[in-house]
Structure 1
């Protein structure tokens, strides 16, 4: 992961742009976050505008000059977009190719053809986890919901028994596994190694998704015993395709960037010699940019051309994939600006003092901060970005593994108890035809289980690293 933004943060943080003490800084942070929360929840303002205004308010409450606050915000915005913007765009292209080519359908159909009865919830977890790797959470829901509803209807399953495992797979990938925007921003903010974070993220994700998915779905199905709503079962996507890419080649294409990044992480650990020829090669092909770019180029042939796409349709698919992520890029960039403003006014020093005086473990502190922001704003991405900015100074002196665990602690906290201020809450409610109370007892509880067990497994890993 590029270290430029981390170096900028370290340099700027050396001399705070305000002389405010810890008490004033604490008030400024609470006020800045409150401004963001109120603008998003009360006035329904777009998170990009809310984060921008909140950053300016933060600087004002901290007594920082307006010119310095603006400079901090724009520096953070630019550094964040430079660090993760291209990766988000490449991930969006890969996800669009996977959906439009019928590759996602092929994965779903192949696994479902080999699963039945008690194995079906586990199959849904596998489907959601594989498809969820390159897709944004909302896109993954839209793609998988038709499958979930049809499987539940065709097999006469409780909707929760099938739906909860699929949602758990998507949510865990979204919060813990790069190249999703949240984890990427946190990795960039604290200077973590992407490959190591990916590897440790998978270690945390597997048991977490099992507990929150197939295991919890048994109880969710008892609490909310409903069937798939007839009016919400749409036609399957990709029905206009004459052919679809094969199962094996589709899975290989989706997993290609993950494999390349994991290989780099493994070689870095085993060889640990920057001058070694093999490590030099893996450092290049395993870098996030090259890994995702390689996967996109391969997908143009293994997914697009295999589905019979013409050059014109391939170009159109790529173009359509980029438009929806404009908002995501702006939110992530503004979040980076807010993070930079937090650091430049000296909040990092305040957080360090707090953690020392109260003896709060860094990983638990990071999780608690992310939880608080998630509950307030309803956005996992905003929670991740803000928490990463606040706890970034804690990463100083940490080992590579510890820094990666800090990222995962933030990611776990960002998923805690989705409720009425989260767009995902309403998306799940409407698709599954549930009441608000039923959605809380199923979806919201599932998100909380992911968050709590996520931090538990992170803390357990910290004991052995």
Structure 2
């Protein structure tokens, strides 16, 4: 849904957004209102105060809620079903034991992070995180302590890859808008993602955030049920189930890219079929079917498997609804025109181009929540200035990284990803702000420092 023509000026809209976030935090943290109720209430109130016609408020709010659920609910539901099968059949424990035997106890967070970086190349943040949940919890239960010591390196790896590495939509769109090479952005982006993750996520987790105690609660996967004892699946079998969606999604990405470059024909029945099964929800569905009929039925009757999968959906209802409500809040802020109004007022900051890219993306990210919207809006806003500046191909990539860095920092209550992490790992809002928000910020700042270095070299 396109933003409406702003009723208020950029300054007023920014104040409204800031007050809305403040009220939301008070309701959830101080008054202990349920996050779902608070998000819906503040979203509706914000729309009215921002000047959205009262008759349009329900449609705007429900539209934003529905679009978020459309992107998240299928992935989370299918992913958690896969996770429940891996957890209950002992497959997750097999993966955890293998990782530990290869890397050792002290390097378990490193092992999780490296694996997530590899999986995160073609898989979006939310899908990757859901698939990795059983491994994270199995490793955490093995060694104890705070779940964050194992969760943040993996979640941060997915966040880093999603933010700056094509074929993820944000960096692809930003690169296209300013004329940067997708291939060069991919090559440099992978290196930058790994370095930024090592500094802004892994080191920060080991030195600080991982020491903040968050109890290990994997009931979102197991429902309190202990894994089966006895015959556990082979490591290769479990790994194949996890790799299956990765391969299918990667194939989709390659074929879609080749079509866009007109390397292969735009139409074709076989290619269409491969692109279809490589869509993330379809790939996860296929992986779920394989896990069900090659793993779960070995230990359980079909009726028990049905109950197992049905029970898997119960604990995630609240997660999905709260995430959808977070998307509603961000959608209301975008529809009210805050993004476009801020863009107009930020266009003439008088800052160096590379710094403007980071600052504008940061403000848009904080104001409306969506990293992808911040990326695409900032790139479009700077496209004319980029043409005038005529930067080198390397500097164009640096600009993409700077925009992505700004779109990564300061994830908070208007970001649906904030709520996914909060609810999956059993953190309240205050703890999530102290941990996830801080980690996203250190990751984004690390990316920006790398962008500055590339800009200077280029």
171, 179, 182: which one pairs with 2:155? Answer: 171
Secondary structure in structure 1 of the residue aligned to 2:232: coil
Deviation string, structure 1 residues 338-391 (Cα, Å, up to 9, x no partner): 233223222122121133122564455334555x58xxxxxxxxx855x65667
**Structure 1 residue 73: Cα displacement:** 0.7
Which residue does 1:346 correspond to in 2?
337
Change in CA separation of 1:396 and 1:211 when aligned onto 2, cut-off 3 Å: closer
442, 446, 452: which one pairs with 2:445? Answer: 452
**Structure 1 residue 105: Cα displacement:** 0.3
Which residue does 1:433 correspond to in 2?
none
Q: 2:142 and 2:116 mapped to 1: Cα distance?
A: 10
**Structure 1 residue 81: Cα displacement:** 1.7
Change in CA separation of 1:361 and 1:244 when aligned onto 2, cut-off 3 Å: farther
Q: 2:60 and 2:331 mapped to 1: Cα distance?
A: 6
Task: Pick which of 138-147 and 255-264 moved more.
Answer: 138-147
Secondary structure in structure 2 of the residue aligned to 1:260: helix
Aligned-CA RMSD value: 5.0
**Structure 1 residue 41: Cα displacement:** 2.1
Q: 1:270 and 1:459 mapped to 2: Cα distance?
A: 31
28, 33, 38: which one pairs with 2:16? Answer: 28
Q: Which runs of 5+ in 1 are unaligned?
A: 1-8, 150-158, 374-382, 417-421, 430-435
**Counterparts in 2 of 1:315-464, with a 5 A limit?**
315-358=306-349, 361-367=356-362, 370=365, 384-385=369-370, 393-394=377-378, 396=380, 410-411=407-408, 413-414=410-411, 449-456=442-449
**Structure 1 residue 36: Cα displacement:** 1.7
Contact 1:363-1:406 within 8 A present in 2 as well: yes
Q: 2:427 and 2:69 mapped to 1: Cα distance?
A: 30
Change in CA separation of 1:339 and 1:99 when aligned onto 2, cut-off 3 Å: same
Secondary structure in structure 2 of the residue aligned to 1:133: helix
Q: 2:424 and 2:315 mapped to 1: Cα distance?
A: 20
> What is the TM-score with the length of structure 2 in the denominator?
0.68
Q: 2:279 and 2:402 mapped to 1: Cα distance?
A: 20
Secondary structure in structure 1 of the residue aligned to 2:64: helix
Q: 1:98 and 1:123 mapped to 2: Cα distance?
A: 19
Which residue does 1:290 correspond to in 2?
282
Which residue does 1:51 correspond to in 2?
39
Change in CA separation of 1:356 and 1:70 when aligned onto 2, cut-off 3 Å: same
Q: 1:462 and 1:298 mapped to 2: Cα distance?
A: 47
Contact 1:80-1:336 within 8 A present in 2 as well: yes
> What is the TM-score with the length of structure 1 in the denominator?
0.68
**Structure 1 residue 265: Cα displacement:** 1.5
Change in CA separation of 1:275 and 1:115 when aligned onto 2, cut-off 3 Å: closer
Q: 2:249 and 2:234 mapped to 1: Cα distance?
A: 24
Secondary structure in structure 2 of the residue aligned to 1:241: coil
Secondary structure in structure 1 of the residue aligned to 2:286: helix
Which residue does 1:3 correspond to in 2?
none
Q: 1:203 and 1:81 mapped to 2: Cα distance?
A: 32
